[in-house]
């Protein structure tokens, strides 16, 4: 160590000797001082924990002084022109569209032209006036001749099948409107398109018809509380997805046309039986040998019959299992309290049914979608009935006692954005762009006011109602429970609500049920101030929950509806006018 001492090295090696001398000193202290030795063991340095610094390695040509002007020009071009241009393009594009991906100009047309009472066919014409068909799909010089030739072909098919004379819309007479109108009707009536360029346009148009209907027309109808027009939107979505013109009353508008190999001749064959078959549910209610024999006599071979039954077994039978009102922490519902409408749906299917299978649910229990008498009876209004279920499965069809996914986990993992349902059989929609298009069913729940046939609040979207096989020994049919929260009417009485459930992709699924809400006056000794505070606190918590859902983009799946106070008061005023009427006699078993 002495030969490394700075006093012994005064020449060129002085600096190097000083560094070595310090290092040797630190090494000696590290070996002799326990505290310094511990720092070296834990941190790799006898001086203890050290700070870290990071840097960016730049190419040598950037820091080369001879390239300074080139680098400066590149930076000026990038940050002075390219970046502002990209931001401006993004901003202008985002301002053109709504949050649901519809052009603001198109939404303006819908807003002006959508009228209460508009029919399904008029809504189809309005749909073809969407600006997306002009801006997002290029037009060609020979479009006019090709479109008119296809329209004449479609017109003949429509007249042959329905007896109606199809005419081009007079109000929306732009060339792109005519093209969209022709391609829409060609798709609905399954008319082959010979022109290759028009076929390419159809590939782009068909998915847009569904998107614009569900994200444009339905949004406006629901915002205006129009129930008939909202149901028309769902019908249009189903028509486009299944390529079945259900708005026309003829053989090919039957729900059975969702099955492969079905034609007007086969549908007529099923309807002319002693007990007519008008739906998939009625077809599957037959005994297996009868089904096979009936399909074979209709002209199908063994392979085709097998394909038909394979698709039909996947068709879900959806029923309303429970429907009632509840008030958290209270046995009775009092005026202005925070309540929730609870709906539990059940879905079963016929997957894997053998030839000698037992009686189907439609045979053993009348759960037909068209003749569901249970769904027309007033539902139980107490929560206790749901809690006393005889089965051992929870609301979601899972065995009771199993660990359930928390709400926060679903939000963080994106469970609310996924649709676990199997894609529906829709070859005319799925094959629009082979291998890339599929449609998973979504169910919509509407809470309605039967007095004026209006929607209360926004429709609730149900993406996770997964149908299970009725013969599955692991559990009953798939269950899903949804809640719709709002404020109770301000006055005591009995209020009649309606619940309607429909599907956007499958025909024949439309459930209706009447539900009664009984509001009673609170006990006289009840502390009104504490009750008001409790309601206010509950609303504050739920409004915060709604804000979180809205920020996460979950508003379309339902949630809190604080604007229900006005609607509840409206219903209370209507009920007050009928105080002298015995509301209990309003219950009706009529099948809607």
Lowest mean pLDDT, pick from 143-157, 262-276, 361-375: 361-375
Q: Which residues pair with 487 in a beta bridge?
A: 338
Can you read off the two tokens belonging to residue 569? 């008061």
How far apart are alpha carbons 238 and 231 in whole angstroms? 11
Which residues lie closer than 8 Å to 4 by C-beta, 6 or more apart?
17, 20, 21, 24
How far apart are alpha carbons 340 and 323 in whole angstroms? 11
What pLDDT, on the 0 to 100 scale, is given for residue 390? 34
Same fold, 104-253 and 319-586: no
Closest CA to 236 of 263, 209, 203: 209
**Model confidence pLDDT, tens digit, residues 322-333:** 999 998 878 889
The tokens 């071009």 sit on which residue?
A: 77
CATH entry 2.60.40.150 includes domain 319-586: yes
What pLDDT, on the 0 to 100 scale, is given for residue 477? 60
Closest CA to 576 of 486, 516, 495: 495
What pLDDT, on the 0 to 100 scale, is given for residue 305? 92
Q: CB of 242 within 8 A of CB of 260? A: no
What pLDDT, on the 0 to 100 scale, is given for residue 464? 81
Q: CB of 127 within 8 A of CB of 213? A: yes
Asked if the model's pLDDT at residue 153 lies above 90, the reply is yes
Q: Is 522 exposed, middle or buried (0-12, 13-18, 19+ CB in 10 A)?
A: middle
Closest CA to 515 of 389, 281, 342, 357: 342
- The residue among 317 and 55 whose pLDDT is bigger is 317
How far apart are alpha carbons 510 and 591 in whole angstroms? 12
**Model confidence pLDDT, tens digit, residues 105-139:** 999 999 999 999 999 999 999 999 999 999 888 88
Highest mean pLDDT among 262-271, 393-402, 419-428, 540-549: 262-271
The tokens 């025909």 sit on which residue?
A: 507
Closest CA to 471 of 312, 358, 346: 358
Q: Is 15 exposed, middle or buried (0-12, 13-18, 19+ CB in 10 A)?
A: exposed
Lowest mean pLDDT, pick from 101-110, 263-272, 400-409, 459-468: 400-409
How far apart are alpha carbons 9 and 6 in whole angstroms? 5
Can you read off the two tokens belonging to residue 496? 């009649």
Q: CB of 482 within 8 A of CB of 558? A: yes
Q: CB of 461 within 8 A of CB of 448? A: no
**Model confidence pLDDT, tens digit, residues 231-253:** 999 999 999 999 999 878 777 77
What pLDDT, on the 0 to 100 scale, is given for residue 190? 92
Closest CA to 217 of 244, 197, 235, 201: 235
Asked if the model's pLDDT at residue 76 lies above 60, the reply is yes
- The residue among 533 and 294 whose pLDDT is bigger is 294
Q: Look over the chain and give the mean of its residue pLDDT values, rounded to a whole number.
A: 76
**Model confidence pLDDT, tens digit, residues 176-234:** 999 999 999 999 999 999 999 999 899 889 999 999 999 999 999 999 999 999 999 99
What pLDDT, on the 0 to 100 scale, is given for residue 512? 94
Lowest mean pLDDT, pick from 240-249, 274-283, 540-549: 540-549
**Model confidence pLDDT, tens digit, residues 287-304:** 888 889 999 998 999 999
How far apart are alpha carbons 179 and 183 in whole angstroms? 6
What pLDDT, on the 0 to 100 scale, is given for residue 583? 40
Predicted confidence band at 552 (pLDDT cuts at 50, 70, 90)?
low
**3-state SS string over 137-163?**
CCCCCCHHHHHHHHHHHHHHHHHHHHC
Can you read off the two tokens belonging to residue 519? 């509001």
Instruction: State the fold for domain 104-253.
Output: Sec63 N-terminal domain-like fold (1.10.3380)
Closest CA to 261 of 306, 308, 294: 308
The mean per-residue pLDDT over the stretch 300-324 comes to 91
How far apart are alpha carbons 78 and 87 in whole angstroms? 12
- The residue among 66 and 49 whose pLDDT is bigger is 66
Asked if the model's pLDDT at residue 306 lies above 70, the reply is yes
Q: Which residues pair with 461 in a beta bridge?
A: 444
Neighbours of 549 (CB within 10 A): 18
**Model confidence pLDDT, tens digit, residues 385-440:** 443 443 444 444 444 444 444 444 443 444 444 566 778 888 888 655 544 457 88
Can you read off the two tokens belonging to residue 516? 């009664």
Q: Where are the domains of the chain?
A: 2-43, 60-96, 104-253, 319-586
pTM for the full predicted model = 0.68
């Amino acid at each position: 160590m002495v030969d490394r001492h700075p006093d012994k090295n005064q020449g060129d090696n002085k600096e190097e000797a000083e560094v070595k001398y310090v290092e040797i000193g630190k090494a000696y202290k590290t070996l002799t001082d326990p505290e310094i030795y511990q720092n070296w063991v834990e941190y790799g340095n006898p001086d203890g924990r050290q700070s870290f610094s990071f840097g960016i390695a730049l190419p040598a040509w950037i820091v080369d002084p001879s390239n300074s002007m080139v680098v400066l020009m590149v930076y000026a071009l990038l940050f002075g022109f390219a970046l502002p241009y990209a931001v401006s393009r993004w901003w202008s594009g985002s301002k053109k569209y709504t949050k649901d991906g519809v052009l603001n100009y198109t939404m303006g047309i819908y807003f002006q032209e959508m009228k209460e009472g508009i029919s399904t066919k008029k809504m189809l014409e309005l749909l073809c006036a969407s600006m997306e068909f002009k801006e997002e799909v290029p037009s060609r010089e020979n479009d006019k001749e090709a479109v008119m030739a296809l329209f004449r072909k479609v017109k003949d098919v429509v007249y042959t099948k329905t007896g109606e004379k199809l005419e081009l819309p007079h109000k929306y007479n732009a060339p792109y409107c005519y093209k969209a109108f022709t391609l829409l009707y060609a798709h609905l009536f399954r008319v082959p398109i010979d022109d290759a360029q028009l076929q390419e346009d159809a590939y782009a148009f068909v998915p847009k018809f569904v998107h614009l209907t569900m994200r444009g027309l339905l949004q406006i109808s629901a915002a205006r509380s129009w129930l008939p027009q909202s149901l028309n939107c769902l019908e249009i979505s189903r028509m486009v997805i299944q390529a079945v013109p259900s708005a026309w009353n003829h053989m090919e508008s039957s729900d059975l046309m969702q099955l492969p190999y079905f034609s007007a001749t086969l549908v007529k064959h099923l309807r002319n039986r002693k007990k007519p078959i008008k739906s998939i549910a009625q077809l599957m209610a037959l005994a297996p040998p009868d089904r096979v024999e009936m399909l074979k006599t209709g002209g199908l071979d063994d392979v085709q019959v097998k394909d038909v039954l394979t698709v039909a077994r996947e068709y879900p039978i959806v029923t309303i299992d429970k429907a009632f009102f509840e008030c958290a922490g209270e046995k009775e519902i009092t005026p202005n309290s925070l309540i929730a409408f609870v709906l539990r749906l059940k879905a079963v299917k016929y997957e894997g049914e053998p030839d000698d299978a037992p009686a189907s649910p439609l045979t053993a229990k009348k759960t037909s979608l068209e003749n569901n008498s249970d769904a027309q009876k007033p539902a139980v209004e107490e929560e206790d009935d749901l809690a006393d279920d005889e089965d051992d499965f929870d609301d979601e069809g899972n065995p009771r006692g199993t660990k359930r996914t928390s709400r926060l986990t679903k939000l963080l993992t994106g469970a609310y954005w996924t649709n676990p349902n199997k894609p529906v059989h829709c070859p005319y929609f799925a094959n629009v762009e082979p291998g890339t298009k599929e449609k998973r069913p979504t169910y919509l729940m509407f809470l309605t006011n039967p007095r004026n046939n209006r929607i209360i609040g926004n429709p609730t979207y149900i993406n996770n109602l997964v149908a299970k096989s009725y013969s599955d020994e692991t559990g009953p049919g798939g269950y899903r429970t949804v809640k719709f929260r709002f404020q109770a009417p301000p006055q005591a009485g009995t209020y009649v609500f309606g619940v309607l459930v429909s599907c956007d992709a499958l025909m024949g699924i439309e459930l209706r049920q009447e539900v009664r809400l009984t509001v009673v006056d609170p006990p006289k000794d009840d502390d009104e101030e504490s009750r008001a505070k409790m309601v206010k606190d509950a609303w504050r918590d739920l409004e915060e929950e709604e804000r979180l859902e809205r920020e996460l983009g979950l508003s379309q799946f339902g949630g809190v509806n604080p604007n229900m106070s006005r609607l509840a008061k409206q219903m209370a005023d209507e009920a007050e006018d009928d105080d002298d009427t015995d509301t209990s006699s309003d219950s009706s078993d009529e099948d809607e």
